[in-house]
Amino acid sequence: MNHWIILPLLLPLAAGILNLLLVKSGPGPQRLVSLVAVAGLLPVAMLLLHLADSGTTSVYQLGNWPSPFGIALVVDRLSALLLLLTAVMSWPVLLYATGGDDRRGHNFHVLFPLQVFGINGAFLAGDLFNLFVFFEILLIASYSLAVHGGGPERIRAGLHYVVLNLLGSSLFLVAIGTLYAVTGTLSMADLAVKIATAAPEQATLLRISALLLLVVFALKAAILPLHLWLPALYSSITAPVAALFAIMTKVGVYAILRTFTLIFPLNVDAVASDVAGWLPPLALLTLVAGTLGVLGSRRLTSLVAYLVVVSVGTLLAGIGLFTVAGITATLYYLPHTTLITAGMFLLADLIARQRGAVADWFSPGPPMAPRVLPLLGVLFFVGAVASAGMPPLSGFIGKLLLLQAVPPEEGIWLLIWLWTIVLLGGLAALIALSRAGSLLFWTTEGDMIATERQRLHPRLIAPVILLLAMSVVMTILAAPICRYAEATAGQLLTPGNYIDAVLPKEKKP
């Protein structure tokens, strides 16, 4: 058994607990503990990625109980990729938070590692009930982080977010209960085996639970019509928290991808194959709703929040095709959009700090300090090019992969709709971002404010540069990343390997 697999859980959990003990010691030691722990995730995630890249699915049986009775953590290519993404994204975000945002409320350095713990756990969980438990861990940390800093706007958006997610959790439990009542197991691999051989009279109940799971994960991923909580929440919360939340919708996307390739494989004729009909229209409608939001935004954070909705639509469109090419596009686009969105949230905060009371609203404000203006301008340009999906950065490659992935035999209408909506969405994002850039940087009014804002602290600017530079890195490394994404998609669409790895040999049918 490979003990590295549990380290992405133990590191952040230990850091969170240690920081709870260090509450009295001031911010210094707490910052150090979280920064070291989250940085430690990076080599572990790289090691696991290297391990998974050989094509083996590694299983960690907690307490050494045999599957499907014990709790299993499973690392395949998809989990390893998302663990690496979490590690790469959360460290710069944490560094940004140590620039002062972590002291705007209590216990930031307890909650941040615990949220990372929940996210990593959700990517590793090998059974549905533990997926639920890790969802709850990341949610309860996110509830407290969402209201970090306080203020009426945050409390109101936070309250809506909490109530919606509690409803989602209830539905998740109903789905889990139904699945357990029908199949008598919750291990994903065992469920896949049992559902493939289920009796026809159980099909209705299985279909109900598949659709319930889709609703629950769609709420997490913010898919139309369950996306309305996202822009309000993301535009009102503290910048580093919003940046960390950029990966929260991807947990929902991951859960959809895992559930509907492993438990209810949609590419084969099965009980839940009608879900396959739902995904492409939902994805396209989410894209349209997000694009309209991007065009209608009146402040930068809300524009970036709608870009998250657009990205979820794009990701889901790739999944909805259920081909190796479609999922490859999704898996290339997913890290790109998470990193860029996180960077853009942080950048929006830096821009808002320069503009005093006007903050990031699209109205004339005081000019930015001449020493920081060029750097912020260049970063905004890079971020805008990447998020609108213009060449030469990674957003363009991701969208290109998606557009090429539509199989011509699937019918001309899907092709027309997808191409039109994705391309018009890109154009709309470009228009909205150019307008935002010119309003924020060029339309000024009044005098420059406070002198201490004339310099940017390296702890604030370095994370933004790091996150946005990842787009350039992903462009240069496009070939190896695509190769990995393609191998991942192939692995997902042949769930036999996963099932064989998790279940002991004699359990197989």
Partner 1 sequence: MEILASLVIAVLFSCGIYLVLRARTFQVALGLSLLSYGVNLFLFFTGRLITGAPPLAPGTAATADPLPQALVLTAIVIGFGMTAFVVALALRARGELGNDHVDGQGARR
User: Footprint of partner 1 on this chain (CB under 8 A)?
Assistant: 129, 133, 136, 140, 143-144, 147, 150-152, 155-156, 158-160, 162-163, 166-167, 169-170, 173-174, 176-178, 180-181
Closest approach of partner 1 to the CB of residue 11, in Å:
23
For residues 171 and 462, which CB has a smaller minimum distance to partner 1 in the complex? 171
**Separation between Cα atoms, residue 451 and residue 334, nearest integer Å:** 39
For residues 156 and 507, which CB has a smaller minimum distance to partner 1 in the complex? 156
Closest approach of partner 1 to the CB of residue 184, in Å:
8
For residues 53 and 136, which CB has a smaller minimum distance to partner 1 in the complex? 136
For residues 173 and 427, which CB has a smaller minimum distance to partner 1 in the complex? 173
For residues 87 and 147, which CB has a smaller minimum distance to partner 1 in the complex? 147
**Separation between Cα atoms, residue 288 and residue 50, nearest integer Å:** 38
For residues 169 and 273, which CB has a smaller minimum distance to partner 1 in the complex? 169
Task: Answer whether 221's CB lies under 8 Å from 249's CB.
Answer: yes
3-state secondary structure 281-338: HHHHHHHHHHHHHHHHCCEHHHHHHHHHHHHHHHHHHHHHHCCHHHHHHHHHHHHHHH
For residues 156 and 459, which CB has a smaller minimum distance to partner 1 in the complex? 156
What's the residue count for the chain?
Answer: 509
Closest approach of partner 1 to the CB of residue 235, in Å:
16
Continuous segment of H or E residues that includes residue 58: strand 58-62
Closest approach of partner 1 to the CB of residue 448, in Å:
33
Task: Answer whether 137's CB lies under 8 Å from 121's CB.
Answer: yes
How far, in Å, are 24, 122, 220, 364 from residue 115 at the CA level? Answer: 21, 11, 15, 37
Closest approach of partner 1 to the CB of residue 341, in Å:
26
**Separation between Cα atoms, residue 191 and residue 184, nearest integer Å:** 9
DSSP 8-state class, residue 71: E
How far, in Å, are 65, 340, 346 from residue 387 at the CA level? Answer: 45, 7, 14
Task: Answer whether 6's CB lies under 8 Å from 108's CB.
Answer: no
Closest approach of partner 1 to the CB of residue 132, in Å:
8
Closest approach of partner 1 to the CB of residue 163, in Å:
6
SS3 of 457, please? coil
For residues 159 and 477, which CB has a smaller minimum distance to partner 1 in the complex? 159
**Separation between Cα atoms, residue 310 and residue 312, nearest integer Å:** 5
Q: What are phi and psi of 74, to 5 degrees?
A: -125, 130
Closest approach of partner 1 to the CB of residue 117, in Å:
15
Closest approach of partner 1 to the CB of residue 160, in Å:
7
For residues 175 and 503, which CB has a smaller minimum distance to partner 1 in the complex? 175
